[in-house]
Amino acid sequence: MTSQQPYPPVAPYPAAAPRNGLGTAGFVTGLIGLVFSPIPFIGVIAWPLVIVGLSLSIIGFARANHGGATNKGLALAGIIVSALGLVVCIIWVAAFGKAVSDSANSLPAAPPAVSLGTPAAAAPDKAAASDKHTVVYKVTGTGKASTISYTNDGGTSTSSESNANLPWQKSIELPDGPAFQLVSIIAQGSGSGSIHVSIEVDGKVLKQSDASGYGLATADADIGSLGD
């Protein structure tokens, strides 16, 4: 009687590599932004990084939920680190603005002028006029922008819109005076065509950029020194 030889063990198939380039890119970008966010002055570049990281991580997480990607945990980590970086940026800008405001308020007031003879007509109070800057965010292109995020209140808070029809624009007013005021916008394409973003301040284009497909178009500037 011939004994049957056992079949050799079958080597297991290697596990599929994770498929979520957007989630991975969002995690890396958000982590870099979080590292830079608490550093004075250098932390300005953290604003676009954490916003881009948050957008990419959210898209990657959504793809993982729908079965289009496999590294859901990494996309979730990207959302967390990007959100933390954004919070640090907001806290840093608010603290810096408060310090500048407190320093300005601590300066001694100028003594009143002594008038000799007939008093002249009072000069207009420039401080009371409180000049303002008009900031206009614009997104143009074909189709829609899947997400648009922009800063308001001089960088202390952000707003966003989804599936925005193009052309799109948003106007805000910022006071002239604070030493640091960040204006920033980021828009992501919807997959076809191209998009163009720009920042106009008092009718003058300061920054602009383009992107195509699902790309990101970003623009940012510090307008705190425009009134100097």
- Please give the backbone phi and psi of residue 107, each rounded to the nearest 5 degrees, phi first: -70, 140
Q: In what order do the strands lie in the sheet with 182-189?
A: 157-165, 144-152, 182-189, 216-222
pLDDT in tens, 47-67: 888 888 888 889 888 888 887
- How far is the C-alpha of 25 from the C-alpha of 33, rounded, in Å? 12
pLDDT value, residue 19:
65
pLDDT bucket at 92, cuts 50 / 70 / 90 = confident
Per-domain boundaries in the chain: 21-104, 130-222
Q: In one letter, which amino acid is 173? A: E
Q: Are 78 and 57 in contact (CB under 8 A)?
A: yes
Q: Is 12 left (phi over 0), alpha (psi -120 to 50) or beta?
A: beta
3-state helix, strand and coil shares in percent for the chain, rounded to the nearest 5: 35, 30, 35
Dihedral sign for Cα 164, 49, 90, 202, please. negative
pTM value surpassing 0.75: no
pLDDT in tens, 196-223: 999 998 889 988 989 888 777 888 877 7
Could you say which DSSP state residue 143 is in?
A: S
Provide the pLDDT for residue 105.
Answer: 63
Is the model more confident about 29 or about 89? 29
Highest mean pLDDT among 12-26, 96-110, 185-199, 214-228: 185-199
The fold of 130-222 is Immunoglobulin-like (2.60.40)
